[in-house]
Amino acid sequence: MPIYPLNQQKGTDIQTKPLSLSLSQQSSHLSEFNLYVFERKNTSMDVVRFIFGILGNATALFLFLSPIVTFKRIIRKRSTEDFSGVPYNMTMLNCLLSAWYGLPFISPNNLLVSTINGTGAVIEAVYVMIFLIFAPPKMRLRMFGLLMVVVSIFSTVALVSLLALHGQHRKLFCGLAATIFSIAMYASPLSIMRLVIKTKSVEYMPFLLSLFVFLCGTSWFIYGLLGRDPFVAVPNGCGSFLGALQLILYAIYRNNKGNEIDANNSARDSSVEMEETKHTNGYGTTNYKDMEQGNDQVHQKIVSQV
């Protein structure tokens, strides 16, 4: 014969306790599941961010190496001719500040920013040294003065951030410095774009360089967005926008490439030949080819965008 509990309320208590424990376990499992999903989501975002960082490194390296043609010419002729060394000094400053900002004790989880900008700073330093070696005395003096300004600005930012600032204040100070010079560098192609609109020709704006400017800016823009870092996203967003404008201009004027300036090329080539003849007879100095130099100066303008 079955034995029933003497107190029904007591029996009820025995039945409700396992139910209460079950709800607690469900709540615990739900919290663990939400935490697991959150961690998986963050891991996926980190992977995507890393991929865009690698793509940004690759495209930026292409832009840093694009002036090699210009410096081969300078070394071959042992003269800087009429080229300007200012873009290389300013690009080196931008790379130094960005590489400093990306260091772990300044801005955590931005090591890819430091790797490419550190590499860029070394490449630009080589360009500056070559320019100083082959520049005329007066220009060499001006370029050396500008180099000292670059070193002074970077040293000031580095020392102030190390000795006077800590934590978020340090990140804010270094990020603002890097952002200001990055935006200034991204504004440099505006003169090239104005020239394209004026001549209705993309002769001075190579397609591949414009494409890589857009890809580089877009990659770092997305990298900054995923990392919620405005000091990476904002300047590279500007670069992506300007790169897109260059591609739009190329699409509009691509069929006019070289048509508007063939006559000018012929006249300039004739002028060069006359000047070379003067030089041979001892009456003057040899002029360089304007069109070739124009193409080389495109590299100077575009490389400063990284």
Q: pLDDT: is 202 or 234 the higher one?
A: 234
Distance CA 288, CA 302 (A): 22
Cα separation, 67 vs 193, whole angstroms: 19
Residue 191 or residue 3, greater confidence: 191
More confidently predicted of 146 and 304 = 146
Residues 238 and 190: beta-carbon distance below 8 Å: no
Mean pLDDT for the stretch of residues 46-54: 90
Mean pLDDT of 23-42: 54
Domain chopping of the chain, boundaries? 49-256+277-303
Residue 188 has pLDDT above 80, yes or no: no
Q: Taking the alpha carbons of 219, 112, 153, 136 in that order, is the dihedral positive or negative?
A: negative
Q: Structure pTM?
A: 0.68
The answer to whether 209 and 299 are in contact (CB under 8 A) is: yes
**E strand intervals along 241-280:** none
Q: By the 8 A CB rule, do 291 and 265 touch?
A: yes
CA distances from 92 to 8, 73, 84 (A): 84, 21, 14
Q: Which of 27-31, 80-84, 117-121 has the lowest mean pLDDT?
A: 27-31
d(CA 298, CA 188): 10
- pLDDT tens string 83-139: 778 888 888 999 999 999 999 999 888 889 999 999 999 999 999 999 999 989 888
pLDDT of residue 267: 41
Does 288 have pLDDT greater than 60? no
User: 9-21 pLDDT, tens per residue?
Assistant: 444 444 444 445 4
Average pLDDT rounded to a whole number, residues 294-298: 49
pLDDT tens for 251-285 read: 888 887 555 444 344 444 444 443 443 343 433 33
Mean per-residue pLDDT, 41-48: 78
pLDDT at site 119: 94
Numbers of helices and strands, H then E, in the chain: 11, 0
pLDDT one-digit tens code per residue, 240-256: 998 899 899 988 888 87
Residue count of the chain: 306
Q: How confident is the model at residue 175, as a pLDDT? A: 92
Average pLDDT over all residues of the chain? 76
